[in-house]
Amino acid sequence: MFEKITSLWSSTPAAPPYDPTNPKLNPLNPEGLKPCCACPQTKSARDDCFLNTSTSEADDKCKQLVENHLACMRSLGFKL
């Protein structure tokens, strides 16, 4: 409760929240890509694997593709 009151009197503005799509806050993503548009190659390979594999086998067969996509997203500064 008191920190909210104290922050009203504070002269320093609060830092903006981290936004991975903002190139000023995230130099790893200079184009400002949104998560839906980032890493299209690894995303389509991952999606194709899940669409073309039976549900019971998808976890094992698509695991490496999912890991590749997560690595690509993290390399752009997205927190997953």
Tell me the CA distances in angstroms from 24 to 5, 9, 31, one per residue in order: 30, 28, 10
Q: Is 36 annotated as a binding residue?
A: yes
Residue 77 is predicted with a pLDDT of 95
Model-level pTM?
0.75
Question: Would you say residue 11 lies in a domain?
Answer: no
Looking at the structure of the chain, the number of domains it has is: 1
Over range 30-44, report the average pLDDT: 95
Instruction: Flag whether 31 is in a domain.
Output: yes
Kindly report the average pLDDT of the chain as a whole number.
88
What is the pLDDT, as a whole number, of residue 4? 58
Is 4 among the domain residues? Answer: no
Q: Annotation-wise, does 37 bind a ligand?
A: yes
